[in-house]
């Protein structure tokens, strides 16, 4: 089969207004601004107001994207939403977004890849363009992590924020490279280190599961840290080696924003100039599936990227899931 090349033609993001600083946590938890910043690189994050769901953040980001691209929602063929905080089990967040933006001709589905959800969704969406069956595919990474972190658990609640990012995929023109390669991985043996036990088939919601805090994120931070450092650094290095790209040819490295020290380890391993690394963890913390498209959207707004620039995306998250995407910026 003759596969078509796929490119990103528009990008956007949305973050809720409410800013929560590390100092704000000092009022309710045994923690400090210094501890959080030194261990993670986070200074503040955004939280939704009560009652605001993931689909709402995604829909706001998407409406802006459609305006930027100058197309109508009815032109979209497919909506893929990477998220671990869907508004509900069903209907899918993709269906809720479709309704909110009026994308009447699109089908869609949610994809559960945790912090790698956006990269998994990007690779998946690009296959529909490559096969020639779809022309406009929306790939969303969005999470409302405040809905699943225990506000009394200082080891997790300070790490996360809420947000949404979105890109549009379309066929590349002749001579454009667009998405060049991706490497995606999973290792289910890592599931025990980062998970949410409640709410699914094994532990359906009950007074007992709520009492036992089973509907919150459970994390062995030290182990996640160790695997994340290795996984993200190795896969980023691997995609450059595989495509014979010298590190100094990369214009922008966009790592998942979970911990500044994990990012720095990957940057050291890749021997990439730290000035070419997208970092916004200080402002938004870990928004799970949204971190990478938010970084891309900020880079586009700041005009950091020009047509033909090489970009490497990399992620690591629950599952474990991890991966990297190499692309040529064609906007």
Ligand X SMILES: CC(C)(COP(=O)(O)OP(=O)(O)OC[C@H]1O[C@@H](n2cnc3c(N)ncnc32)[C@H](O)[C@@H]1OP(=O)(O)O)[C@@H](O)C(=O)NCCC(=O)NCCS
Residue matched to tokens 């060049």: 180
Q: Nearer to ligand X by C-beta: 197 or 221?
A: 221
Q: How many CB atoms lie within 10 A of CB 121?
A: 28
Q: Nearer to ligand X by C-beta: 177 or 283?
A: 283
185 touches ligand X (CB under 6 A): no
CA distance 307 to 328: 8
For ligand X, the nearest residue by Cβ is 221
Site map 34..53 versus ligand X, x via CB under 6 A? -xx--xx-------------
225 touches ligand X (CB under 6 A): yes
User: Which ranges of the chain would DSSP assign to H, the alpha helix?
Assistant: 22-26, 33-40, 54-69, 93-101, 117-130, 207-211, 221-242, 260-270, 281-284, 291-301
102 touches ligand X (CB under 6 A): no
Residues 219, 243 contacting (CB under 8 angstroms): no
Closest separation in Å from C-beta 282 to ligand X? 14
Q: Helix, strand, coil: what percent of the chain each, to 5?
A: 40, 25, 35
115 touches ligand X (CB under 6 A): yes
Catalytic residue among 115, 237, 259, 295: 115
117 touches ligand X (CB under 6 A): no
Binding segment for ligand X among 63-71, 104-112, 139-147, 219-227 (CB under 6 A)? 219-227
Active site residue 256: yes
Q: Nearer to ligand X by C-beta: 310 or 313?
A: 313
Q: Nearer to ligand X by C-beta: 216 or 225?
A: 225
155 touches ligand X (CB under 6 A): yes
Nearest Cα to 177, choosing from 10, 1, 4, 293? 4
Binding segment for ligand X among 6-14, 29-37, 131-139, 184-192 (CB under 6 A)? 29-37
CA distance 97 to 92: 9
Q: Judged by CB under 6 A, which of 19, 43, 135, 154 binds ligand X?
A: 154
Strands 179-186 and 18-21: unpaired
Residue matched to tokens 């899931």: 321
Q: Judged by CB under 6 A, which of 47, 284, 316, 322 binds ligand X?
A: 316
* Angle formed at CA 272 by CA 271 and CA 276, multiple of 5 degrees: 165
Q: Which residue numbers are catalytic?
A: 115, 256, 286
Binding stretches for ligand X (CB under 6 A): 31, 35-36, 39-40, 115, 154-155, 158, 194, 221-222, 224-225, 228, 258-259, 286, 316-317
């Amino acid at each position: 089969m003759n596969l078509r090349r796929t490119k990103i033609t528009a990008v956007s993001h949305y973050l809720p207004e409410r800013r929560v600083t590390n100092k704000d946590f000092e009022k309710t938890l045994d923690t400090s601004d210094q501890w959080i910043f030194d261990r993670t690189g986070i200074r503040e994050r955004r939280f939704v107001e009560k009652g605001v769901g993931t689909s709402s953040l995604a829909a706001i980001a998407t409406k802006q994207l459609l305006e930027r691209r100058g197309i109508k929602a009815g032109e979209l063929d497919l909506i893929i939403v990477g998220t671990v905080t869907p508004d509900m089990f069903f209907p899918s967040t993709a269906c809720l977004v479709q309704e909110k933006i009026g994308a009447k001709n699109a089908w869609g589905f949610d994809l559960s890849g945790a912090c790698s959800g956006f990269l998994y969704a990007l690779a998946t969406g690009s296959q529909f363009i490559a096969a020639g069956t779809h022309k406009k595919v929306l790939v969303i990474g969005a999470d409302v992590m405040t809905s699943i972190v225990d506000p009394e658990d200082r080891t997790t609640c300070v790490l996360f924020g809420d947000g949404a990012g979105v890109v549009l995929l379309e066929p590349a023109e002749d001579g454009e490279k667009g998405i060049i390669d991706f490497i995606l991985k999973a290792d289910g043996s890592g599931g025990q280190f980062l998970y949410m036990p409640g709410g699914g088939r094994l532990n359906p919601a009950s007074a007992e599961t709520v009492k036992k805090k089973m509907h919150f994120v459970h994390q062995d931070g030290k182990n996640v840290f160790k695997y994340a450092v290795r996984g993200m650094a190795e896969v980023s290095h691997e995609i450059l080696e595989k495509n014979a790209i010298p590190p100094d040819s990369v214009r922008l490295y966009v790592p998942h924003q979970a911990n500044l020290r994990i990012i720095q380890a990957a940057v050291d391993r890749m021997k990439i100039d730290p000035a070419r690394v997208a970092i916004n963890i200080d402002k938004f913390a870990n928004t799970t599936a949204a971190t990478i498209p938010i970084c891309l959207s900020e880079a586009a707004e700041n005009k950091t990227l020009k047509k033909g620039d090489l970009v490497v995306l990399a992620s690591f998250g629950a599952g474990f899931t991890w991966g990297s995407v190499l692309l040529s910026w064609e906007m």
